[in-house]
Each structure stands twice: as C-alpha cells, then as structure tokens.
C-alpha cells in the first residue's frame, strides 16, 4: 500500500493557484497520526498537521509553543510510536505530503489542519487541503474562527469547519495590552460562521472556565441562532493549564448546557479526550 502511494506521490501536481503564488511551503510545528480528541468527531482516526503562529492568547492555551513561527517541524515516523524526525521550516508541500504518505494518510478518516492558527497561512492551507483530500481523508479545519477573508479563500477545499467561539473573559488578541478590558469577538465570529456554512459540515466549540459569564454565553447563542440555529455547539470544559487551575464544576456545566439549549437545540458537553489517553 505504501509503495503504491509512494509511486503516486512522485506524480503529485501542485495546486495551480498556490504554485503560481509560490506559496506552497508552510511554517509547521508537527505532523502526526492520532485520533481526534475534541468536538463532534472525537475518537476518529486523524492525521494532524499543526501550523505555527497564532494571533490570539487564550489563557488556557495548552500549546503556547505554537504562538510563534517554529524553526523546525517534527514529523512522526511511524503511526502511534511517538518517534519523530525533524524538518527545517518552511516545509514544502512535497515534504508535507511525503510525511503524510509515510503515516498512511489514506487510512485516516480525517486530516486535521490545526495550529496555532492555520488560517494565518491560507495559501498553504489551500494547497495542503487539496492535496491531502485526493488521498482519502476528509479535511477538518480547526480554527479560532476569526480570519474571515482567509476562510473565504479556502472553504471550498474543506469538509468540516470546526470553529471556536472565543470569549473575552479568557481570550485576548496578541496585539492587545496584557491587562485591561478587551473587545469581544462576536462580530467577527458571526461573519466567519456565515462563510463556514459553505462547507459540508460546521461545528462551533466554546471553551468554558470558571471565568465564563452568562452574558457572554447568551450573546454567543443569539449570534449563532441568528445565522444557523441548528449548528452543533460543543461546550468544552477547560483542561486546566497554565494560569487556569480548575475547570467549572458539574453543576455549573449542566446549568450552562441547559441555558444554551433554550436557544440552540444541538448543544453537547464534550471534554478533551486525548489528555485522558495520554495521546498527542
Ligand atoms: S487560538 Fe489556539 S493556539 Fe491560539 S492561543 Fe488560543 S488555544 Fe492557543
């Protein structure tokens, strides 16, 4: 099987637009095989391509090493072994595809383009999505849900848009002052959701912490209900990390879900699972 893909790989043609733009290389942090740990496709086999750089600063972010462009990209050499080799950035499309082929990309239900924030590199997302899609997996874009223009460029090559809905109680832009109030994200998220609906499948995820307040949850629900009320909304209790020391308790979580369900019928409470497995 691998040699068959290898033979095909040698004849890979690069997507025209990206080739013409000369932007088929990406700043990547890692490429590896695992199962989806979050959202409505939890547990499904997924090849992850993690992009470098993020323009947000979530207080609970468990991957601050992705905030800036990476010098090197680590590439898993055999599925599930945790053995990696290193590539220097930027990683070419050919190198990314070769890594995916070596990890049996065709055996995965999804290829997840994640970060960091992948939509900070839309040309690379478009090229990778098109190239990986022809090899079998559905393309699962995991994004902070704010880069509206970039999504417009890539959405036709994406099968699932998994967008976050960021709450200003815990998230600021990297360009914001470290202290003081920050503007909320509702307007940009609403615009993003309207574009995301061009994809075959969309889900929204909101991470909740002890700082989450009802008013911002209500504002989020009103915006989603105004655009696409049947959109699945995943409530993800924070996995404590960094300055966020604890998750909301069960009583608070169930009250939040009940509150949301009055407006959005498809609300689901799904914690991160890959930490339980000790997986990547
Ligand atoms: S958007 Fe993602 S990568 Fe960026 S700070 Fe938030 S959790 Fe971390």
- Pocket of ligand 1, candidates 29, 51, 59, 63: which has the most ligand atoms within 8 Å of its Cβ, to mutate? 63
Q: Where do the structural domains in the chain lie, given as residue ranges?
A: 2-202
The percent of residues above 90 in pLDDT, for the chain, comes to 81
Reported pTM: 0.90
pLDDT-derived band at 151 (thresholds 50, 70, 90) equals very high
**Sequence-distant contacts of 78-84: CB under 8 A, at least 24 apart:** 78/103, 79/33, 79/103, 79/104, 80/33, 80/34, 82/280, 84/30, 84/32
Please report the pLDDT score of residue 48 as a whole number. 97
Q: What's the CA gap between 260 and 271, in Å, rounded? A: 17
Structure tokens at 61: 């972010």
Using the mean position of ligand 1's atoms as its centre, give its distance from the Cα of residue 60 in Å: 8
Q: What is the pLDDT of residues 162-198, one digit of tens each?
A: 999 999 999 999 998 777 778 999 999 999 999 999 9
Mean pLDDT across 151-165: 98
Residue 128 Cβ < 6 Å to ligand 1: no
Take atom 7 of ligand 1 and give the residue whose Cα is closest: 61
Q: Is the CB of 116 under 6 A from ligand 1?
A: yes
Q: From the CB of residue 83, how many other CB atoms can be counted at a distance below 10 Å? A: 9
Strands 171-173 and 56-58: antiparallel
Confirm or reject CATH 3.30.450 for domain 2-202, answering yes or no: no
68-73 long-range contacts, Cβ below 8 Å, gap at least 24?
A: 69/27, 70/27, 70/28, 70/29, 73/27, 73/28, 73/29, 73/30, 73/31
Task: Give 135's DSSP letter.
Answer: T
């Amino acid at each position: 099987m691998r040699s068959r893909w290898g033979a095909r790989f040698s004849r890979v043609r690069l997507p025209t637009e990206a080739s013409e733009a000369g932007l088929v290389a990406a700043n990547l942090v890692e490429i590896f095989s695992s199962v989806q740990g979050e959202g409505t496709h939890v547990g499904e086999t997924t090849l992850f391509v993690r992009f470098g750089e993020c323009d947000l600063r979530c207080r609970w972010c468990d991957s601050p090493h992705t905030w800036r462009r990476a010098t090197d990209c680590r590439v898993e050499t055999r599925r599930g072994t945790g053995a990696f080799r290193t590539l220097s950035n930027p990683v070419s499309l050919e190198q990314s595809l070769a890594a995916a082929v070596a990890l049996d990309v065709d055996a995965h239900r999804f290829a997840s383009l994640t970060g960091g924030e992948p939509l900070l590199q839309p040309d690379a997302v478009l090229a990778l999505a098109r190239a990986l899609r022809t090899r079998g997996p559905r393309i699962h874009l995991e994004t902070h849900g704010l880069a509206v223009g970039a999504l417009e460029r890539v959405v036709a090559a994406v099968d699932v848009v998994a967008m976050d809905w960021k709450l200003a109680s815990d998230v600021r832009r990297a360009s914001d002052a470290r202290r003081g109030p920050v503007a909320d994200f509702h307007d940009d998220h609403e615009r993003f959701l309207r574009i995301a609906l061009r994809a075959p499948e969309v889900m929204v995820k909101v991470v909740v912490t002890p700082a989450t307040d009802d008013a911002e949850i209500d504002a989020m629900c009103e915006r989603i209900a105004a655009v696409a009320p049947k959109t699945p909304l995943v409530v993800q209790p924070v996995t404590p990390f960094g300055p966020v020391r604890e998750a909301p308790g069960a009583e608070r979580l169930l009250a939040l879900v009940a509150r949301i369900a009055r407006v959005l019928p498809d609300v689901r409470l799904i914690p991160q699972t890959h930490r339980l497995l000790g997986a990547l």
